[in-house]
Amino acid sequence: MSTTEETATIPRATGAPTDAETTAVLAPVPAAATPEGRWRPGRAGWLARGAVWLAVAWLVLALPANQLSPITIGPADVDIASRAVIFAIGGLSLHVLLGWCGQISLGHQAFVGLGAFTSAYLVTDLGMSFWFAIAVAAGFGAVQATLLGMVSLRLTGLYFALVTLAYGAFAENTLFGITSLTGGEGGKPAARPPGFESPENYYYLCLAFLALVIWLDWRLTRTKGGRAMAALRENPRVASAYGINVRAYTLMAFAVSGIFAGIAGSLTAHHDEIIVKSSFDFRLALTFVLMTVVGGLRSRVGVVIGSAFFAILEEGAFVAMVEGLIGGLGFTPTFFESVIGLPAEFVGLVVGPILLLLTLTLYPGGIGQQIAPITRWLGGRRFDRHAGAVREVEVDDVRA
């Protein structure tokens, strides 16, 4: 529809469009402050919210590390939890592009992979400390993304997708083919930093980095740059008419995304302890796209949950859980394999894309939209079943 000329108008401000000038004498009375904004839950409400917050904190902080937990989780499952946290960082990395900036990268496996191999090389071959290595990996991520971005921004449009797609293939075959960097078929060892060797401690380390990334991401959207990105996401032409340097801010988004991807890569390397290049193939880039969109664009919580879900799905733990549940109900425990004829290792491959298409066409807000009533309630507001419905921030397409 909007292929040709589009004359755009600025999205209307949300306030009542009554003529402000004529009624300027009357101060803009608390019309803006809706009653909902003043509503505070009662004591029981606070208690209930506190209980849920405690439960969430327990689920994130204590359960995966076997603290205060009724069940015992094996070290392998703790590693899956760490993987979920790393995926969340990766998801937030892509989300900077997809959610905040309206661009997309199809070569994220290369950013993550190069971060991983850089970190492993610095720690194993040059004997540097992990903390230095992760900083270098993050820097490398930013440099790669910025350089590729500079090339792709010579054209308006989504050419970053194409350039990163080509870069991903190049990195997979050429960069990761350099044996001294990647250790060839045998892989490259990457020891965990001292003090974080145990799965539990490494989980907390990943969690700390996730907290850092979430904080950076949150600050990013609250700055001038974040508002500029929101504007150029909606309509680059209108944004540039308002004096926003579209190119510079898009590049900034690429750089930030690259930094997050580098951190995720470094954490992946030391998580696996021996990394092989086959773990950074095109499938990983696609998984990142899936988990970001299914998680919900412009919803940090949604992206984190979506990423964790896909990490668990990838590792086969989700299938194991579902089949365990089905088995517990008295059905055949190899449900996917024997009933639908879908081997367990392909479940993610089939389920993920279908979830993606359903999300895009039916629930554009993804998981973030589904859980919005709960997150808002936890934030001390009323429970509203319809919260989080995506408001169309559509720029009107006016034709003569």
The residues binding other proteins (CB under 8 A) are 1-4, 98, 102-104, 106, 151-152, 154-155, 157-159, 161-163, 165-167, 169-170, 172-174, 177-178, 233, 282, 286, 289-290, 293, 341-343, 346, 349-354, 356-357, 360-361, 364, 394, 399
Minimal distance, residue 92 CB to other proteins, in Å:
17
**Smaller CB separation from other proteins, 87 or 176:** 176
Q: How far is CA 141 from the centre of its chain?
A: 16
Q: Supply the DSSP string of 96-126, one letter for each residue.
A: IIIIIIS---S-HHHHHHHHHHHHHIIIIIS
Three-class DSSP category at 189: strand
Task: State how far the alpha carbon of 314 is from the alpha carbons of 83, 279, 318, 319, 343, in Å.
Answer: 10, 12, 8, 9, 13
What residues are paired with 373 via a beta bridge? none
Q: Which is nearer to other proteins, 242 or 346 (CB)?
A: 346
Nearer to other proteins, 28 or 177 (CB): 177
Q: How far is the CB of 101 from other proteins (least distance, A)?
A: 9
What is the sign, positive or negative, of the torsion defined by CA atoms of 373, 374, 377, 378? negative
CB of 180 to other proteins, least distance (A): 11
Minimum CB–partner distance for residue 110 and other proteins (Å): 10
The vertex-261 CA angle with 256 and 262, nearest 5°, equals 100
- Based on CB atoms, which residue is closest to other proteins, 346 or 383? 346
Q: Which is nearer to other proteins, 176 or 209 (CB)?
A: 176
Min dist CB 365 to other proteins, Å, is 12
Structure tokens at 123: 């720690």
Q: 138: helix, coil or strand?
A: helix
Q: How far is the CB of 362 from other proteins (least distance, A)?
A: 9
Which residue, 228 or 347, has its beta carbon nearer to other proteins? 347
